[in-house]
Chains A and B, each alone.
Chain A
Amino acid sequence: RKEVEQDPGPFNVPEGATVAFNCTYSNSASQSFFWYRQDCRKEPKLLMSVYSSGNEDGRFTAQLNRASQYISLLIRDSKLSDSATYLCVDHYYSSASKIIFGSGTRLSIRP
């Protein structure tokens, strides 16, 4: 089983729609999680951290469910500029700190 799993998509939704996708992780010792966004041929950029209490930043909401070992990202009122690949990131620390990326979910917003 992969350490971090995501539905690769693509999710193809109309502008203005609400879209959500999940990411599951296998390591119960994982300490923190993030969502990154990556545009085609660009580097990943941090979108938001994910907290147990939930985290909202404008149109974006991230949630963490430790019992079921998944995190989610909700995008409301989607914009054309939201089209990108969204990468779920798991951070855990054992003998050393490791940051692992999920395979990414492709999102395409159509006019």
Chain B
Amino acid sequence: DTEVTQTPKHLVMGMTNKKSLKCEQHMGHRAMYWYKQKAKKPPELMFVYSYEKLSINESVPSRFSPECPNSSLLNLHLHALQPEDSALYLCASSQVPASTNEKLFFGSGTQLSVL
């Protein structure tokens, strides 16, 4: 069982909706990540939070807005998405940011469909 919990597991939303994806870990990890994965493609990095501060934004459109309220929680706020944003959104955490042994632990993901 994964120790990174993501909710919801599935989400269907219209292009005018506002929704949020949530991620939680209680392993004391200080780096948290959002990845996007399309079918038969590898995960693509979106955002990295290091010690609760945004350290990497991979030129993600502003309709995706990350938030890290504390060291255990990571949110991804969604607004005015497009159908091509439909994908599996994976949250991950790692123990120590910017270390050479930065092993990722993934949540089971949120399967998002934008209609």
Q: Give residues 74-108 of B contacting A (CB, 8 Å).
A: 90, 97-108
Residues of A in contact with B, size category: 20 to 34
Say yes or no: A45-B106 contact (C-beta < 8 A), given A87-B42, A97-B48: yes
Say yes or no: A32-B107 contact (C-beta < 8 A), given A97-B48, A98-B56, A100-B45: no
Q: Could you tell me if B45 and A98 are in contact, using CB atoms closer than 8 angstroms?
A: yes
In the assembled complex, B71 has its CB within 8 A of some CB on chain A: no
Taken together as a complex, chains A and B put the C-alpha atoms of A53 and B72 apart, in Å, by 35
In the assembled complex, A72 has its CB within 8 A of some CB on chain B: no
Q: Could you tell me if A43 and B56 are in contact, using CB atoms closer than 8 angstroms?
A: no
Contact indicator per residue, chain A 24-63, by CB within 8 Å of chain B (1) or not (0): 0000000110101000001111100100000000000000
Chain B residues within an 8 Å CB radius of A100: 45
Which partner residue on chain A sits nearest B99 by CB separation?
A: A97
Taking the nearest CB of chain A, how far is it from the CB of B98, in angstroms? 4
Q: Could you tell me if A101 and B55 are in contact, using CB atoms closer than 8 angstroms?
A: no
User: How many A-B residue pairs lie within 8 Å, measured between CB atoms?
Assistant: 59
Q: Give residues 76-111 of A contacting B (CB, 8 Å).
A: 87, 89, 91, 93, 96-104
Which partner residue on chain A sits nearest B98 by CB separation?
A: A97
- B contacts with A: majority SS: loop
In the assembled complex, B2 has its CB within 8 A of some CB on chain A: yes
Number of residues from B at the complex interface, CB < 8 A? 26
Q: Could you tell me if B101 and A44 are in contact, using CB atoms closer than 8 angstroms?
A: no
Q: Could you tell me if B102 and A43 are in contact, using CB atoms closer than 8 angstroms?
A: no
Taken together as a complex, chains A and B put the C-alpha atoms of A20 and B99 apart, in Å, by 28
Taken together as a complex, chains A and B put the C-alpha atoms of A89 and B98 apart, in Å, by 15
Which partner residue on chain B sits nearest A8 by CB separation?
A: B40
Of listed B31, B44, B50, B98, residue having the most chain A CB within 10 A: B98
In the assembled complex, B109 has its CB within 8 A of some CB on chain A: yes
Which partner residue on chain B sits nearest A44 by CB separation?
A: B106
Say yes or no: A43-B101 contact (C-beta < 8 A), given A87-B42, A98-B56: no
B→A interface (CB under 8 Å): 2, 31, 33, 41-45, 48, 50, 55-56, 90, 97-109
Task: Show 5 residue pairs from A and B whose CB-CB distance is below 8 angstroms, ordered by the A residue.
Answer: A91-B100, A96-B98, A98-B45, A98-B48, A99-B102
